[in-house]
Structure 1
């Protein structure tokens, strides 16, 4: 059962990271905690849309949100990436792929499709 829970958590992290807006938000939060309105500022979308992105990041455990007075603050939770990082490191033998060499390999190994 724990393996299924870990797989689900990993799925949620990767699903959250799949969106470029959410990756941009995480990059912004690397610097410091930010108010939701400040997070939303550089994006050409509604505050409601940003809130949905923040909700997905929160459910994946990548950020936390805290109410301070009238302002909701977002904080990066870098430990949430640990399991994803460990999972990706298991593929370490495939690191540093030279895409040009890979393309040459595919052309040599696969029959001409054209």
Structure 2
């Protein structure tokens, strides 16, 4: 799978609207056959930074970046950013989220 993390430095005046700015892009990406996860978070250190964690099947990565909604999503974000986003994108083994073996929670039925 392809595992990607992107940090988006958002203009202070656009922070409150960011979820709506990326809503269509997010919904369209989550509907892709090859999408395994597409999750937004806000940085605890920088309130103007949003972090996107995404994963795609091997076959799903290229269709994502060549889709019309990908191009439209980038253009909808562009005027709301203060700098170029930073990205880590790697092909890794696996097919989605796995349990963290080092931090099992007692009584969690999924761990017993």
Give the TM-score of the pair, scaled to structure 2.
0.26
Q: As a proportion of its length, which structure holds more strand?
A: 2
Larger relative CO (CA 8 A, sep 6+): 1 or 2? 2
Give the TM-score of the pair, scaled to structure 1.
0.26
Q: As a proportion of its length, which structure holds more helix?
A: 1
Q: Max radius of gyration: which structure?
A: 1
